[in-house]
């Protein structure tokens, strides 16, 4: 193996909220292996997704761009998505790493193309991990937990397992997709995925090249299906209500209404608590599989030459903010803020916690620098390498974090979220904007957009967002100028000067 370049193992979870990782604060959720990773690595306290939707966030990983630039603006083959199949091109991270001499391995969820049953199925050339340079698993589309793929079914049959869900017997209402599996842990999708990654590592160790493996769990995104031993860990565990659970979601207007549970008025907290137990159990199952990766790498000496990066595409609501479900259609921390941890083989930054902002857009340049490469001058990469930030040599690090949202589930809208310090501003294209002061309201229950004491801060945040839109070429900025024209009479917009002057365009 070329010792001058490290291996990189990237572990990516799906819809993973911070309350489901012990390293990010007190929680009933048990994640000993992720906690170990944080102790041995660098943990980013204020990391944000570029978009709280699966496909757009994954597109950022391979392009280093926000969705408005890479074009996967919603889940692929959904209304609101411009690119339904990720196009292979030299600028993709996979191809850049290939050029640096890396073997590329892929495991698990893809969701960057090829939903063959979609109405948009013929809009782009079909895209799979193998079409952009990866070896390994080639699962098209979303996958819905991974249970339906022929490869997984063949694995079950070869090992004498079945995928069966027991009937719901818990006392609470069954309000989300969850359940107890009849089979052992070896029959689960997370176990099956780790088997593939271990196989890739064994194969790549026979080569002279370093490797980059992207390991994608489908969880803890629903369905929350777990073996008995994992849900039993939580059956008698008290789950305290979210601090913003009593937020009056129905009486406050806004896009978030799309995601209020339809039966929220008839649900008790215990109904939500039971689903959270299954979510935490699923997360613990995944954590155990991460432990298997750790064990294999220790046994093979791979921890000594492999950088391990852990992150999630976005978070999850799980009843927070008055019974919200899933993700999207709001600006809240539960879905926008994500875990981000990097463990270096030489112990660099061990136990360090960085409170500067980071985003998923920083992943691309960080990994490329680890591999000895560099971003092209004309590549329009929106992130920056995190390595100088870790080493303490970063100059002029961005003091904002931005998340964008263009819709999901065959519905579209335009939202932009920007945080500067403890102030968060949310632009809603067709609804009232939002402003939160996380220093005094960390649970985001009071919209201060019309509070006289925050008038200047709101306008300051609007200008910061406008600057970011111009810098990144966000096409939504063309209409956003109208918002600034309305709120700040001193704002000069070339496109709308004629409107102010009473002239026709």
Q: What are 351-398's pLDDT values in tens digits?
A: 999 999 999 999 999 999 999 998 877 679 999 999 999 999 998 999
Q: For 217-226, what is each residue's pLDDT tens digit?
A: 999 999 999 9
Distance CA 495, CA 424 (A): 27
**Segment 277-307, tens digit of pLDDT:** 999 999 999 999 999 999 999 999 999 999 9
**Each residue's pLDDT tens digit, 172-190:** 899 999 999 999 999 999 9
Here the tokens at position 390 are: 């870790």
- Measured between its terminal Cα atoms, the distance across the chain in Å is 63
Strand pairing report for 340-343 and 306-312: antiparallel
Helix ranges (DSSP H) in 399-476: 455-472
For 498, the enclosing helix (H) or strand (E) is: helix 497-500
Instruction: Report the 10 Å Cβ neighbour count for 237.
Output: 14
State pLDDT tens for residues 312-330. Answer: 999 999 999 999 999 999 9
In the Cβ-directed half-sphere of 367, how many Cα atoms lie within 13 Å?
34
Q: Which two tokens stand for residue 470?
A: 């111009």
pLDDT at 455 over 60: yes
Contact 197, 170 (CB under 8 A): no
Token pair in block for residue 70: 């890479």
For residue 97 the two structure tokens come to: 């790493």
Token duo for residue 272: 């939500």
User: Could you tell me the pTM of the whole model?
Assistant: 0.95
Average pLDDT, whole number, for the chain? 93
Residues 6 or more apart in contact with residue 68 via CB below 8 angstroms: 404, 406, 472, 473, 474, 475, 476
Kindly report, residue by residue over 21-78, the tens digit of the pLDDT: 999 999 999 999 999 999 999 999 999 999 999 999 999 999 999 999 999 999 988 8
pLDDT at 499 over 80: no
Instruction: Please give the C-alpha separations between residue 289 and each of 11, 111, 276, 293, 498, in angstroms, as whole numbers.
Output: 11, 22, 20, 7, 61
């Amino acid at each position: 193996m070329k010792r001058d370049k490290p291996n990189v193992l990237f572990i990516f979870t799906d819809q993973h909220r911070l309350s489901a990782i012990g390293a990010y604060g007190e929680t009933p959720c048990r994640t000993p292996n992720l906690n170990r990773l944080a102790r041995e690595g660098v943990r980013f306290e204020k990391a944000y997704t570029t978009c709280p939707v699966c496909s757009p966030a994954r597109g950022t990983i391979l392009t280093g761009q926000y969705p408005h630039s890479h074009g996967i603006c919603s889940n692929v083959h959904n209304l609101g998505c411009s690119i339904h199949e990720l196009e292979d091109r030299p600028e993709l991270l996979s191809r850049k790493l290939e050029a640096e001499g890396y073997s590329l391995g892929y495991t698990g969820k893809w969701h960057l193309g090829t939903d063959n049953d979609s109405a948009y199925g013929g809009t782009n050339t079909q895209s799979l991990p193998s079409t952009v340079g990866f070896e390994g698993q080639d699962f098209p589309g979303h996958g819905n937990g991974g249970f339906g793929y022929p490869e997984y079914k063949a694995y079950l049959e070869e090992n004498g397992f079945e995928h069966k869900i027991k009937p719901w017997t818990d006392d609470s209402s069954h309000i989300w997709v969850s359940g107890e599996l009849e089979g052992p842990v070896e029959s689960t999708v997370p176990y099956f995925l780790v088997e593939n990654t271990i196989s890739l590592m064994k194969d790549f160790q026979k080569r002279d090249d370093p490797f980059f493996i992207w390991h994608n769990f489908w969880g803890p995104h629903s369905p929350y299906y777990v073996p008995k031993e994992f849900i039993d860990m939580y059956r008698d565990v008290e789950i305290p209500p979210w601090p913003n659970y009593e937020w009056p979601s129905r009486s406050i207007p806004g896009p978030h209404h799309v995601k209020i549970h339809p039966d929220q008025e008839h649900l008790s907290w215990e109904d939500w608590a039971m689903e959270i137990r299954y979510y935490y159990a699923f997360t613990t199952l995944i954590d155990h599989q991460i432990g298997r990766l750790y064990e294999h790498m220790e046994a093979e000496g791979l921890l000594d030459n492999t950088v391990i990066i852990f992150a999630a595409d976005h978070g999850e609501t799980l009843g927070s903010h008055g019974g919200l479900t899933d993700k999207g259609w709001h600006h809240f921390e539960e879905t926008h803020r994500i875990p981000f941890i990097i463990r270096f083989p030489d112990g660099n930054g061990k136990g360090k916690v960085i409170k500067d902002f980071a985003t998923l857009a920083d992943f691309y340049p960080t990994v490329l620098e680890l591999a000895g490469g560099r971003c092209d001058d004309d590549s329009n990469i929106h992130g920056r390498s995190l390595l100088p930030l870790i080493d303490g040599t970063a100059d002029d690090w961005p003091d904002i974090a931005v998340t964008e949202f263009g819709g999901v589930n065959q519905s579209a809208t335009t939202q932009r979220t920007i945080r500067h310090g403890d102030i968060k501003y949310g632009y809603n294209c067709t609804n009232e904007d939002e402003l939160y002061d996380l220093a005094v309201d960390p649970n985001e229950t009071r919209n201060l957009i019309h509070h006289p004491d925050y008038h200047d801060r709101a306008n300051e945040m609007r200008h910061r967002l406008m600057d970011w839109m111009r810098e990144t070429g966000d096409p939504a900025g063309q209409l956003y100028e109208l918002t600034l024209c309305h709120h700040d009479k001193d704002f000069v917009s070339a496109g709308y000067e004629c409107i102010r002057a009473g002239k026709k365009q």
